[in-house]
Structure formats: C-alpha cells, structure tokens
Amino acid sequence: MKKLIALTAGAAFALSATTALAADKLTLQLKWVTQAQFGGYYVAKDKGFYEEADLDVEIKPGGPDIAPPQVIAGGGADVVVEWMPAALAAREKGVALVNIAQPFKRSGMMLTCRKDTGIEKPEDFKGKTLGVWFSGNEFPFLSWMSKLGMSTEGGEDGVTVLKQGFNVDPLIQKQADCVSTMTYNEYWQVIDAGFSPDDLVVFNYTDQGVATLEDGLYTLEENLADPEMVDKLARFVAASMKGWEYARENPEEAADIVLENDASGAQTEKHQRRMMEEINKLTEGSDGTLDVSAAETTVESLLSGGEAPVITEAPEGAWTDVVTKKAMSMSE
C-alpha cells in the first residue's frame, strides 16, 4: 500500500511538473519603467489571468535607453508596448511591427505651458522654447508643428526645441516656456512642484486634432504567419484586457500591484494611485480592438510632416484584427 501511495504521489508530481512546463512562455517589453501606465499587464499576471490562459508571461520594464522596436527585432520580446508613430517609423525602416491590439482608446499627450509666458493659443508658440521628448515620442509634436507651419529650428516665426528629459524641470526652472506632459504623469509633477492649474495653459493633443495612438500592442509580422503563435497572442490579449478591466474596477489594488512589481522602489503610492485613475480614463470602453479610423488619422498626421515627415508613405499591413477577433471569441 505504501508503495502504491508513493507511486501515485510520484505520478501526481510528474503530472504537475508536466502541466507547469506546458504553459507557453511569452515576453512583453514595456515602453517605459514599471508604473500604472502598464497596470493591466501587472494585474493580469498577479491575479493569475495569464496562468489561466496557459501562459507564462515575463514583463520587462523599459527605460530611457530601451527602444521596444529594437528589443523585439533582436529577439528580446514577443510583444511590445509602443506608440503608433514610433511603430510605423520603425516599420518603414525595416522592423515589420504590426499592431495586434489597442488597449488605449485615447491619447494622454499634452503640452503644458506657464501662463506667465503669455501663451494662450498655439499661434503664441512662435519664438518660444518648447520641451520635447525624443526616442520616438517627438513624432506627434513634429507633425503638430508642421500643421501649424512653424519651423522647429528656432527664430521669431519658429520654435526652439529643447530635448526634454523625462521630467518637468525645464518648466520649473524657466528653461522652457512649455514642456511635454502626459495626463497621468508629468502634468501632476508640475502640480506637485507648487503650480496650480490656474498657473498653467494646457494643450491636449486630442483637442488640437493631432493625437496619435499610444500604448498599442505590437508583434513582428512573421509571428502572425504561425497559427500557434497567433493563438498564444490571442490568449495574451484576452487575459491582458481582463487585467485592464480589473484595474478599472479596482484602481487602488491595481496601483498596489504595480508598486509590488517596482524593483527600483522609486514609485510612490500617491503617484501610482493617481496615475492609475488617469490611465483608466484612457482605456475605458476598450476591448482591445483597434479603431481603424483612429489609425488612419495617425497615419495622416505623420505624413503631414512637411519637409521631414515621420513616414514617407501610407503603410500596408501595419495592423490586423486577427488576434483581437480570436481573443474576443475566447472571452465569450
């Protein structure tokens, strides 16, 4: 009897080990450091949604020196979180990225200006210094300036571009009249620095008609030729959207999960909870399906870059609904 029990236990252990090994590995490269901007993915992992989908997901934080298109091109990820302008620019340069899902329905990009500079409307940018993020984040700004007919080389009729770090110091220290901010992050850094909303003039990219799609999920075109990979990606998208839904319903818990995954220890509870609330406004109403009209608007904006457009021709095959359709069927 003891021998039978031992054999049974051994068989159960072997079965358990086999089951554990059966989970499909998938690596997600984030666009930036661990923060509530990516809360849905951390929630999906923490609450076991990926495990339920038979996935073993590794979430790799990004940073100022990490370009998601380069990471996936080098084999370091299966899926990346990227803004469409940077993804399309990379695609035109030979990295065949394809948007497979769009959790963010709205843009959080803004230009935040000190009111004491006299700026009240976009035409007042002439002769001013504007802080701009680069590493792919400059594309929407360049398209906007092209739309306004303003040179980014300075001068009385143009603007001087200050390469902005991922902070708002240039605005606080009066090195720039305006700086790039996100609704869920840097804008609140300005407020926390002692400014009130009345001290500021904010230009939301959506309101200006130059918003582009942010934080989409992208994979390489070659992956979509593999049915098994498409199935794995669909399970990943379905579980991720479940994570985003949970984050909207439980923002404080979602923020706490993000903090638990912050290996740097740099994030604070106050900031992450506030960020989670703002991020939820951008993902609200999304089931992961890409709004093709929004993608086409993004393309039109990028093509209107004057002498230096972000992309030179409308892309073909840059997005697909194959994965989201399969993911939605799994969620039904």
Query: Over the stretch 53-95, which tens digit does the pLDDT of each residue have?
Result: 999 999 999 998 899 999 999 999 999 999 998 999 999 999 9
Is the distance from CB of 301 to CB of 143 less than 8 angstroms? yes
Tell me, what's the pLDDT at 309? 74
What is the structure's pLDDT at 234? Answer: 98
Interval 92-107: pLDDT, tens: 999 999 999 999 999 9
CATH number for 109-204: choose from 3.40.190.10, 3.40.50.150, 3.30.70.1070, 3.30.70.3270.
Answer: 3.40.190.10
* Other CB atoms within 10 A of residue 330 CB: 14
Cα–Cα distance for residue pair 279/82, rounded to 1 Å: 15
Average pLDDT for the chain: 91
19: pLDDT strictly greater than 70: no
The pTM (predicted TM-score) of the whole model is: 0.86
What are 242-252's pLDDT values in tens digits?
A: 999 999 999 99
**295-319: average pLDDT:** 84
- Residues of the chain with pLDDT > 70, as a percent, come to 92
| Predicted pLDDT of residue 21 | 58
Beta bridge partners of 319: 99
CATH architecture label of 23-106+213-331: 3-Layer(aba) Sandwich (3.40)
Reading the block at residue 94, the tokens are: 């030979």
Backbone angles phi, psi at 196, to 5 degrees: -105, 160
* Cα–Cα nearest to 79, from 296, 329, 288, 300: 288
Contacts of 164 (CB under 8 A, 6+ apart): 131, 132, 133, 170, 176, 179, 180
> pLDDT band for position 5 (50/70/90)?
very low
Question: Cα separation of 201 and 208, whole Å?
Answer: 13
Alpha carbon of 114 to those of 76, 111, 120, 163, 209: distances in Å?
Answer: 41, 10, 10, 18, 22
**What was the pLDDT predicted at 147?**
84
State the span(s) of the chain assigned CATH 3.40.190.10: 23-106+213-331, 109-204
pLDDT of residue 168 exceeding 70: yes
Q: How confident is the model at residue 152 (pLDDT cuts 50, 70, 90)?
A: very high
